[in-house]
Amino acid sequence: MTTTTTPTGVAPRRTADEDRALAEHPIVRVVACGSVDDGKSTLIGRLLAETESVPDDILDYARNTRRSGSTIPKGEVDFSMLTDGLEAEHEQGITIDVAYRHLYLPSGRRAIIADAPGHEQYTRNMAVAASTADIAILLVDATRGIRPQTHRHLTVCALMGVRTVIVAINKLDAVGFEHVAFEELAGGVRSAAARFDLEEVDVIPVSALTGDNVIDRSTQMPWYHGPTVLEALTSWQPAASEDTNVVPFRLPVQYVVRADDFRGYAGTVVGGTVRPGDKVVVNAKGGSTIVERVLVGGEEVDEAHAGTAVVVTVETETDVTRGDLLVAPAEGLAADHYPRPASAFAADLVWTGEEELRHGRSYLLLAGGLAVPAVVTAIRGRRDVVSGEEMAGRTLKMNDIGHVEIATDTAVPLDPYAVSRDTGGFLLVERVSRDTVAAGLVRHSLRRAHNVTPHAFTVDQDARALLKGQRPRVLWLTGVPGAGKSTIADALERKLHGMGLHTYVLDGDGVRTGLNKDLGFTPEDRAENVRRVAETAKLMVDAGLIVIVSLVSPFRGDRRAAKGLFQEGDFLEVWVDTPSDVVVERDPKGLYAKAKAGTLPNMTGVGQGYEPPEKPDLVVQGSGELDDAVNQLLDALEVTH
């Protein structure tokens, strides 16, 4: 990185190219990251205070308030107080949430700095801050060296598309400003950064506490001749590949504006430029039209660039709704520059959920205005953040970074993240709690997503059901082992068969001898077991059958995902509720005896928990009379008996 500022941080006369970059990129977004207690808040606070970017009253507060255990005398500024705003942060002396602060650079550009938490448990907050950052300031404590969290944050920055990293080796005052100590750490960081396609990495020796090489050049380190942190920030210019105007036009539609004789589509342009007369494609649906007017703040304009909130109108009546993506047409563009709607993607995930990822479980994928059910169908690898190696893995734990394959219920238009951070990133959200469990980055759509097109056959489910004279449905019996599910399913099917109805039983042990013989009993395998059985039941319902599923299916999320595959009313969740002493006494397969002996570690109700349905469609007493249970189920199916 070439610095263009003086040692005092005062910008010299700008070149024409710098003036152009400043006009097109007036705001630079910065994420400050690194391990806990490495001095991020102090460094940022000093940058803010010494560039006069904070109001006097806040500076007075930092001068006269001390957190517990602080050794900084009152009257001197505690710079860390300028960014840590939460009471809990003051009490614990750590950063918990991302704090955003405005920094005024000598060049006239404004920087928005995100102070990201260093604790591993808050990696999700750091990832969110990195997702919009142009520059990362990665701090390394010279007294503690490079730690796993240093590698993790560097990895997240690279994944999130942060192309410029300023590595601040902090607390050089604590190691006597030794050149050797700095070079050893700088070499380690450069070696780690070399694994990623990072365009610029500056390593700067710093003492945030004493101010060395933060704003002004240090007199303590005459062996260093590079920029200070402020100089590195000030001289930054976006690389050509980061110029959003080289990305073809992209407008995620956030809102449809309707009024008398007016229909427009509102959103923020995230790539390219739009002008009246431009041809655009409604990406998810494939139709094209011509832009009629472009409105910014209610006024018609000749063109609008990336980052501008607009309302566009089109010349023809076109089906455009919230969540659609208006894009430039594909003519003359490489395939990677045109987000073809797809239902399967290869992606990188930063897993932030407290529970492990369970492939086969349904989550919500959120991208712009899109919200569609999605399933992680395969985990292709997990990245060791220290060595950078891709390792085998069957699941992802909190803060793991992995390479996965994702399938969505409907085709969605997503770009590769390398093309557009705005239309190539997504979140995975747990469907009930609405907790965000992962930040995702699309690598590319999978070829099979474009090669598979369901055929609309003439004979459908309704026709098959009419021929059989019955309503196809699924009765999903869930309960702990020994609850009596299979016994009830067998008696119910015999009754239905005798009535001339067409049925099939999908029993847990039965599917594990064939379709699911490759699965074990871990929570991840159980999720996949439920997914496959639910998909099989869906095909059978489409064939017009009444399907009785007898499956422990211990987790609510898995059963909920199964129900989500069916039309309203076609899936009935039935809880076979049987007292624990009864099931242990029955023990028809000897499972409880094995669990008690310690030879069956994943036994539901013993080694693993069972989550009873919260709002089942029906509760059947597994310890009651068998005929009563069967009659309850016949009533639920609305068949005469």
Residues with a catalytic annotation lie at: 553
Distance, CA of 221 to CA of 242 (rounded, Å) = 34
* Alpha helices for 146-278 (secondary structure H): 148-159, 179-193, 229-234
The edge-to-edge listing of strands for the beta sheet with 110-115 is 99-104, 110-115, 27-34, 135-141, 164-170, 200-205
Backbone angles phi, psi at 207, to 5 degrees: -130, 105
Q: Which two tokens stand for residue 569?
A: 């009313």
Nearest-10 Cα torsion for 481, 482, 483, 485? 80
Q: Which two tokens stand for residue 340?
A: 């073809």
Distance in angstroms between the alpha carbons of the first and the last residue of the chain: 82
What is the CA 637 to chain-centroid distance, rounded?
Answer: 40
Distance, CA of 486 to CA of 482 (rounded, Å) = 9
H or E stretch covering 142: none
Distance, CA of 152 to CA of 400 (rounded, Å) = 9
Distance, CA of 79 to CA of 62 (rounded, Å) = 7
Evaluate whether 237 touches 21 at the Cβ level (below 8 Å): yes
Q: Which two tokens stand for residue 389?
A: 């190696």
DSSP code string of 294-337 = EEETTEE-S-EETT-EEEEEESS-----TT-EEE---TTS-GGG
403 to each of 359, 379, 395, 400, 439, how far by Cα in Å? 12, 6, 11, 10, 12
Q: Which two tokens stand for residue 110?
A: 């404004």
What is the number of other CB atoms lying within 10 angstroms of the CB of residue 238? Answer: 15
Backbone angles phi, psi at 492, to 5 degrees: -65, -45
Q: Which two tokens stand for residue 213?
A: 């090489």
Which of 186, 122, 204, 149 is closest to 35 using CA atoms? 149
Distance, CA of 470 to CA of 536 (rounded, Å) = 19
